[in-house]
Amino acid sequence: MSATTIAASASPPSKVLPGLAHALVQAELLPRTLVEQIHQRSQETRSSFIATLIGSGSMNAPDLAHWVSKTFSLPLLDLDAYDPTRLATGAIDSKIIQGYKVLPLLKRGNRLVVATADPADHEAEDKIKFQSQAQIELVVVEYDKLTRIIDQAGQSANSQISALVGEDFDLGDLSDGSEATETKDQQAAEVDDAPVVRFLQKMLIDAINMRASDLHFEPFEHFYRIRFRVDGELREIAQPPASIKEKLASRIKVISKLDIAERRVPQDGRMKLRVSPEKSIDFRVSTLPTLYGEKIVMRILDSSAAKLGIDALGYEPEEREKLVRAIHRPYGMILVTGPTGSGKTVSLYTCLNLLNQPGVNISTAEDPAEINLPGVNQVNVNEKAGLTFANALRAFLRQDPDIIMVGEIRDLETADISIKAAQTGHLVLSTVHTNDAPTTLTRLMNMGVPAFNIASSVILITAQRLARKLCSQCKTPADLPAETLLEAGFQEEDLDGRWKPYKAGKCNACGGTGYKGRVGIYQVMPISEEIQRIILNHGTAMDIAEQARKEGVRSLRESGLLKVKQGVTSLEEIIAVTNE
């Protein structure tokens, strides 16, 4: 036997290398001894082979990603070009994402696209398949970019809350707003479904951070979708496994004091997220049975919105002066009109906040009370129990009120009592669902309210819409022809060259939409003697609108065009929200 043979037989057997390390040796990209050393170091430091490989300087992340993509015949994706807000992070448990350094990019039906730097890690792929019950499609990405996004996307809900309201917040303080304790069975269910609890908390915190107004949890046959309404538009946020839908619905219903066994009829409730001893955010919860489970919509009710002040609502100076003058009248009726989601409640509560003084008795009847305002007596209408708007108003009149707010005038009985209250020394604020201020008056007449009662009680009507504000960081001048501006409603004298319209751009600050936040557009119409005369003569909405225009009242479109001149929003947005 030769010396060479003896030496070979005396040498220790080769170590079993993981998939990626073995592939590097097979391709002769790195010497086996070096790969074995890196593998041993990764085991000693309890880090992944690929992290130790790149950390050693033996290969850099871009070169490794290109080689892996070619060797394993998988597509290569540059994560710098991917929008991190579109990640399907709810599709895989965060422990798998962090532990195996994988990133769920997209979930469509039963197909889940996952980014990885090491497609040879079959254990990770098996874990993902088992947990998501989906068909996995791998794409290769650079390891350093992958870990950076995972670190950003994988922040715990606790750290997100801490960044929002301080370090003293105890995660999990979700309740129905009452002091009652949960049963042992409910507490046990929470422990068993801890991932569902954490997922729900993360969704709530994400919604608050994104300034969303509503959260939609929507079950379908093959997938489950979560969308947020941000600046009036719905955005898809996550597609968690469809198997989560029943547990998530049960968790929401438990803390909203709803019947978790009842899945056949809609239910309404409330829940509270206490973010600190001094601050909590309420959610209004609505469930709806659909073909594939219960759809749940949660509306965020942030009381701070009503305390921003009237200047934050977007009124022009002359419109604000008209409104403030009207709400400080000793009696009369002020009506706010507009479609659902146009900010009527915030406007009413902003007015109440201005009037909320120790010497004033304010009572409100709402369905339900959306904003909690200390110092105001708020009543939730409950028609099943017999507490209607009309009954609440009758009770208010026996409670020595100064100011009454009615959530909505829906019928003749409520309108009649409200108007009588306004005629007998009370200031009454309410809403009506009409398109603009002039049609509100004719709507009351169509309900059956006598014209002389309307003329003697209503002192001001404000119609409103909410338009998205252009992002200040990416808005760009829009080159619009004069014909387009004139067709939209501008006058020849407006096109004097001293201003320019802007259009939406794209940047990270606005999530690529070009818009960030919303601004109110208002038509503020005081009821003058001439308009009272038209009402008494049973004039039409067109007659009232023509007189209001003579008195300098802007239409909603004209108010919107003023915001375009100021560079606050785009012409496209104003045309969309004031489609006349």
* 243-271 residue pLDDT tens: 788 888 988 998 888 998 888 899 988 88
**Residue 532: inside a domain, yes or no?**
yes
Q: What six digits make up the tokens of 2? A: 């030769």
* 3-21 residue pLDDT tens: 333 333 333 445 567 788 8
Q: Name the domain boundary from 257, 272, 301.
A: 301
Q: What are phi and psi of 378, to 5 degrees?
A: -105, 135
Distance CA 523, CA 252 (A): 39
pLDDT for position 190 = 43
User: What is the mean predicted confidence (pLDDT) over 433-458?
Assistant: 92
Q: Kindly write down the DSSP assignment for every residue of 499-562, as one continuous string.
A: ---EE----GGGTTSSEEEEEEEEEEEE--HHHHHHHHTT--HHHHHHHHHHTTPPPHHHHHHH
Q: Kindly write down the DSSP assignment for every residue of 456-499, as one continuous string.
A: HHEEEEEEEEEEEEEPTTT-EE----HHHHHHHT--GGG-SSS-
Looking at the structure, do residues 395 and 447 belong to the same domain, yes or no? yes
Looking at the structure, do residues 348 and 319 belong to the same domain, yes or no? yes
pLDDT for position 555 = 92
Residues 6 or more apart whose Cβ sits within 8 Å of residue 45: 52
* 394-410 residue pLDDT tens: 899 898 999 999 988 88
pLDDT band at residue 194 using 50, 70 and 90 as cut-offs: low
pLDDT band at residue 176 using 50, 70 and 90 as cut-offs: low
Which residue's structure tokens are 């009272």?
532
156 pLDDT higher than 50: no
CATH of the domain at 104: 3.30.300.160
Of 234, 245, 170, nearest to 207 by C-alpha is: 234
**Residue 228: inside a domain, yes or no?**
yes
Beta strand 476-477 with 502-503: parallel, antiparallel or unpaired? antiparallel
Looking at the structure, do residues 417 and 439 belong to the same domain, yes or no? yes
Looking at the structure, do residues 439 and 537 belong to the same domain, yes or no? yes
Q: What six digits make up the tokens of 382? A: 């409950």
Beta strand 458-470 with 427-432: parallel, antiparallel or unpaired? unpaired
pLDDT for position 542 = 93
pLDDT band at residue 275 using 50, 70 and 90 as cut-offs: low
User: Which one has a higher pLDDT value, 563 or 29?
Assistant: 563
**Residue 218: inside a domain, yes or no?**
yes
Distance CA 278, CA 50 (A): 47
**Residue 169: inside a domain, yes or no?**
no
Looking at the structure, do residues 333 and 412 belong to the same domain, yes or no? yes
pLDDT for position 1 = 39
> Whole-model pTM?
0.63
**Residue 162: inside a domain, yes or no?**
no
* 64-114 residue pLDDT tens: 888 888 888 888 888 887 777 677 766 777 778 878 888 888 877 788 888
pLDDT for position 307 = 62
Looking at the structure, do residues 527 and 421 belong to the same domain, yes or no? yes
In angstroms, what CA-CA distances link 148 with 18, 74, 144, 471?
A: 24, 22, 6, 27
CATH of the domain at 398: 3.40.50.300
pLDDT for position 5 = 37
Looking at the structure, do residues 292 and 313 belong to the same domain, yes or no? no
Distance CA 408, CA 66 (A): 62
Looking at the structure, do residues 317 and 281 belong to the same domain, yes or no? no
CATH of the domain at 222: 3.30.450.90
User: What is the mean predicted confidence (pLDDT) over 370-378?
Assistant: 84
Q: Degrees (nearest 5) of the Cα angle 394, 397, 401?
A: 140
Q: Name the domain boundary from 98, 123, 154.
A: 154
pLDDT for position 171 = 40
* 377-396 residue pLDDT tens: 999 888 878 888 888 888 99
Looking at the structure, do residues 321 and 373 belong to the same domain, yes or no? yes
Q: What six digits make up the tokens of 88? A: 């399907």
β-bridge mates for residue 468, sequence order: 518
**Residue 568: inside a domain, yes or no?**
no
Q: What six digits make up the tokens of 200? A: 């729900």
Looking at the structure, do residues 132 and 214 belong to the same domain, yes or no? no
Q: Name the domain boundary from 255, 277, 301.
A: 301
2 pLDDT higher than 60: no
Q: Kindly write down the DSSP assignment for every residue of 420-447, as one continuous string.
A: HHHHTT-EEEEEE--SSHHHHHHHHHHH
224 pLDDT higher than 50: yes
**Residue 165: inside a domain, yes or no?**
no
Q: Supply the mean pLDDT for the chain.
A: 82
The number of distinct structural domains making up the chain is 3
Looking at the structure, do residues 292 and 347 belong to the same domain, yes or no? no
**Residue 535: inside a domain, yes or no?**
yes
Give the residue numbers spanning the domain of 86: 19-154
Distance CA 422, CA 438 (A): 20
Q: Return the percentage of the chain with pLDDT > 90, whole number.
A: 27
Looking at the structure, do residues 362 and 271 belong to the same domain, yes or no? no
